[in-house]
Amino acid sequence: MRRIAIINQKGGSRFLAILGAIIVGVALFAIASTIKQNTKLKPDSLQHAQAIPITEKRVEQWIVHVLEKPNTGALALKTLEQGDTVKVDAKLGDWFRVPLPEDSTNGFGWINGYAFHREKVVSKPEKVVSELERSTGGAIYAKVAANIRSGPSTSHPVVAKASPGERLIYEAKEDNWYKLRGGDDGEPNWISATVVMTESEQHSQDRMSVLRQQMRDRIPLRMTDWHWGHQRDYAVAEGVVQNVSSRRLESVMAVVLFYTASGEFITSEDALIKYDPLMPGQSSPWEVMARWNPQMAKASVEFKKLFGEELDYREK
């Protein structure tokens, strides 16, 4: 019986050892798979870029940057504007590789595919003109505060005033004057064509105003000035940024990235701008400090919300 118990004990120990080895092996395999997967998904793993036929693409956004690496924190190598064209020869996720033999030590830069997307503009619906307006001429709008006169010349007396943007119904146009629908006394009044715009001109102006506002809202910040330098034990960057959008911006942070002379990233620091919230049209100073490193030779600036949302900007 003692011999059998010893044999069972040895057998149990061997089984536990084998089971432990299997568990360790499975765990190591899972860790290796995770590392491999993360490596594949790493956005700046340039070895995974896929070559594509060399294609010329048009920049559809207002201002974009060609970056040293395919991530938004990389050093900007070149600035492009809407309408510029670039050639691309490889793709990595949402990023396209741009050959830049004259501007990059690597011979290329990266640009996000968003730069080539054209914004869809929703057209303003055509105004339905009533039968009365159609039969009597149409509508015009005062561009400024304007005089309405009793006849088609400046020698006729002023009988009323039109406010800026006021809509007026006219019956006919003679030379450079619009004949307005009769007033309270039934007599027609007149207004100069130089101080009014037609309905189609008004619609065009409204559409341009909408487009300009959409552009300002999409690129909400404008950098009016910035510089950086070495002060004692710190690298200090400071400047002024303006909110050019139609909405208030809360918890805006300035992010400064420092590089060596060859463009190698060293470190970055961030800080909230002075005024919070930043109201539409308002400007705010900002300052960011980082521990000085003698290798610091270049710097770039970005803006983001406190919780990570990036904010595009343009320079003055």
The backbone region for 83, taken as left when phi is positive above 0, alpha when psi lies in -120 to 50, beta otherwise, is: left
Q: What is the pLDDT of residue 142?
A: 87
Output the CA torsion sign for 169, 173, 178, 181. Answer: negative
Residue 4 gets the label, from left (phi > 0), alpha (psi -120 to 50) or beta, of alpha
**Distance, CA of 15 to CA of 5 (rounded, Å):** 15
Provide the whole-model pTM.
Answer: 0.38
Please give the domain boundaries of the chain with CATH numbers for all domains.
46-116 (2.30.30.40), 131-204 (2.30.30.40), 219-315 (2.60.40.10)
SS3 at position 307? coil
- Cα separation, 282 vs 275, whole angstroms: 9
How far is residue 102 CA from its own chain's centroid? 27
The tens place of each residue's pLDDT in the chain, 316 residues long, gives 444 444 445 555 565 666 666 675 655 565 555 444 443 334 444 667 788 898 899 888 877 788 888 877 677 788 888 888 889 999 988 889 988 876 556 788 889 888 887 654 444 444 444 433 443 468 888 888 889 998 898 898 998 888 888 888 888 888 889 988 766 666 788 999 888 888 777 766 666 666 555 555 567 888 888 999 999 999 999 999 999 888 899 999 999 999 999 989 999 999 999 999 999 999 999 999 999 999 999 999 999 888 767 777 777 6
